[in-house]
Amino acid sequence: MSDFLRRFARQFGELNKDNLQRLNELYAADVHFTDPLHDVQGIGQLHSYFSELYANVSELRFDFHGFDQIGEGEGYLRWVMSYRHPRLAGGGLIRVDGCSHLRWRDKVYRHRDYFDAGALLYEHVPVLGRAIAWLKRRMG
């Protein structure tokens, strides 16, 4: 069980549009952050990415349920992200399972998120969502 991972998850879960300066406490200046939709280099770009993310949602929450350290300064967090966006799913709550692979020294310098981008976004866009649902039915 990693104290670093638990502390990081708690502090990350407290982030919101009004306290994004706290990213500096969590991430190294040269952080490399990747998710299925973005690839961000450096703390400045990370601030911009998170500012845009929080500006476009009406609610965003992470519930962490797995803390797996796999080596010195390396581990995984498992989580469920819940969010509302006024133009997706009729403004309803969307929940997505995912995990984060982190590498750190005193702060995280590599953060890679794994999640289903369709479940996060594409399936909730009106026309595209119906097409994806149709494809899933045909393939299943």
State the pLDDT at residue 10. Answer: 96
SS3 78: strand
Domains annotated on the chain, with CATH: 3-115 (3.10.450.50)
pLDDT for the residue numbered 83: 85
Please give the pLDDT value at position 32.
Answer: 98
Phi, psi of 49 (to 5 degrees): -60, -50
pLDDT of residue 63: 95
Residue 77, Cβ density class (10 Å: 0-12 exposed, 13-18 middle, ≥19 buried)? buried
Q: What pLDDT, on a 0 to 100 scale, did the predictor assign at position 115? A: 84
In this structure, are residues 17 and 51 in contact, taking their beta carbons and an 8 Å threshold?
Answer: yes
Whole-angstrom Cα distance, residue 85 to residue 94? 8
Which pLDDT belongs to residue 31? 98
In this prediction the pTM is 0.82
The confidence score (pLDDT) of residue 37 equals 83
Q: Please report, in angstroms and rounded to a whole number, the separation of the first and last CA atoms in the chain.
A: 38
Mean pLDDT (10-residue bins), the chain, 140 residues: 90 94 98 93 96 85 94 96 78 87 98 77 51 56
Q: Quote the CA–CA distance of 139 and 89 in Å, as a whole number.
A: 23
